[in-house]
Structure 1
Amino acid sequence: MASPDSESFVRTFARGLQVIESLGRSKLGMNIAGVAEDTGLSRSVVKRYLLTLTDLGYTNAAGRGYALTPKALNLGLSYFYSLPFWRQAQLELEELSQSIQQSCAMSILDGNEIVYVVRIPTYKILRSSPTLGSRLPANAVSMGRALLAESEQEVIDGFLATAALKRLTNQTITDREKLRTEIERTREQGYAWVDAELDEAICGLAITVKDLEGKALAAINISLPAGQITREQAVEKYLGPLRRTGSTIRSAL
């Protein structure tokens, strides 16, 4: 990976991405001063990037500021389309969700968070229901726990050293050694079960989807209403269908 001080690091390109990400965090558009403050770039530099992005169709004038256009979706969707299993995962998780009448999803690990790449909801059990691209702390959700369990030891150590283990509910594991134990337990049993650690109303059962060499590419899960089902009941009823779905998605590789 090239560092900002490397000769191979293209600063102008990186700054353009900074501007796009800054606009993406605003719901109402931003003026030049706002983008400059958010990115740490000078106003003159921001102005040039915004004018260039507008000429390319990625932004347009929004009142006194600028906002992203639908064309910016191409940048994010390009990642989804590049995943070799994405389309198959959508179809298989839709079928699974319909058969069990529960919400299903797929995510990937990005740093200390998971990012949703597929989400098939049945009804809203989270206060803020995740959508494509939504991020959640990996330690507090079943898919994150499953992906961490299949990671290299240095990745796990790095996560435990740097992740902000915030107490989101009374059940959230914030002790790093206890979390390490849970990650190891997840690896041994081949699935993750997380109960009311992100939200008191939800629990989740997750497994990883691996490539042909056995490396975890993503995780899939079933979200369930907390307090209405135990780990044992969830495993007995849903782990089999979840694993069959994972195998079918893997076959698309």
Structure 2
Amino acid sequence: MATSESEAFVRSLARGLMVIEVLGQAPGRHSLADLADATKLPRTAVRRFLLTLIDLEIVRSDGKQYWLTPRVLRLSLSYLSTLPYWREAQVALEELSAVSKQSCALSVLDGEDIVYLQRQHAKRILPVSPSLGSLIPAYAVSMGRVLLSGLSDDELDQFLRKVKMRKLTSVTITDRAKLKAEILKVRKQGYAWGEREFDDSICGLAVPVRDMNGAVIAAINVSLASGEFTHKTAVEQFLPRLWHSASRLRMSAPVQDTKRARPSKSLTHS
């Protein structure tokens, strides 16, 4: 694997992608100075990247501000098209939301965050309502803990050593030993319950999506308004439906590398 110190690492490509990533952040239109400041790159370098991206019709400009064009969606859609279960997930989440009358989502792990790949909103929109592509800290939400439970023991320990945690609410777990215990509990029971750790108004129940070898490749959840459900009532009402939806996705999921270390004592309900 190429690293930033290796000869195989293409620094200009990495910097260009960094510029695209910053352009995708709020407020959506950025000056050259803003982009240089956010990327920590010289203005001359950022200008060259922008001119190239304009030629490729990925970026537009009025001479002062720069913004992305819809063509950048080709990059993200290229990833989604490689996931055989993604289209099935859309149908499964629509049905899950209709039956449960709650918002639900599909996500994968990306470093220290989860990334939303699908999101089905209930009629009542929750105060915090992530959309496709949203990033959420994995340590603080039920889907994140489900995905972390699918890591090998060594991978989980490495994550816990490096992850940056902060109190998002008064009950957010930031103690590494306590977080590890919670993740191991999730691994054993096959689901995760999160209550007011990311936002005081939100609770969530999540289960893993596995491939045919049992490897965790994604997570699905139902998002609930705090105070309307307890851990017990949420499990009774939604867990069987979540496992059923996860089973549907498993049938269309690709098989991961079987050489990858598997977590001990993992359950395969889905």
Fold agreement, TM-score > 0.5: yes
Q: Deviations over 1:194-216 (max 9, x none)?
A: 11111111111111101111111
In 2, Cα distance between equivalents of 1:44 and 1:144: 39
In 1, Cα distance between equivalents of 2:125 and 2:109: 23
Residue type of the alignment partner of 1:207: V
1:233 positional shift? 1.3
Give the corresponding residue for 1:238.
238
Which segment is superposed worse, 23-32 or 104-113? 23-32
Give the corresponding residue for 1:226.
226
| Contact kept? 1:33, 1:43, Cα under 8 Å | yes
1:28 positional shift? 4.4
| Contact kept? 1:29, 1:62, Cα under 8 Å | no
In 1, Cα distance between equivalents of 2:78 and 2:143: 23
1:26 positional shift? 4.2
Give the corresponding residue for 2:61.
61
1:107 matched to 2:107? The reply is: yes
Flag the 1:89–1:57 CA change in 2: closer, same or farther, 3 A.
Answer: same
In 1, Cα distance between equivalents of 2:158 and 2:53: 36
In 2, Cα distance between equivalents of 1:140 and 1:38: 26
Which segment is superposed worse, 15-24 or 99-108? 15-24
Which segment is superposed worse, 165-174 or 238-247? 165-174
Give identity over the alignment, percent: 48
Give the corresponding residue for 2:34.
34
Give the corresponding residue for 2:267.
none
Give the corresponding residue for 2:125.
124
| Contact kept? 2:204, 2:224, Cα under 8 Å | yes
| Contact kept? 2:211, 2:251, Cα under 8 Å | no
Unpaired stretches in structure 1, ≥5 consecutive residues: none
Residue type of the alignment partner of 2:126: I
Give the corresponding residue for 1:5.
5
In 2, Cα distance between equivalents of 1:46 and 1:129: 33
Q: Deviations over 1:144-187 (max 9, x none)?
A: 01111121112211222222221122221122111111111111
Aligned length, in residue pairs: 252
| Contact kept? 2:114, 2:135, Cα under 8 Å | yes
Larger helix percent: 1
User: What is the TM-score when the length of structure 2 is the normalising length?
Assistant: 0.89
Q: Deviations over 1:116-137 (max 9, x none)?
A: 11111112223x3101111111
Give the corresponding residue for 2:199.
199
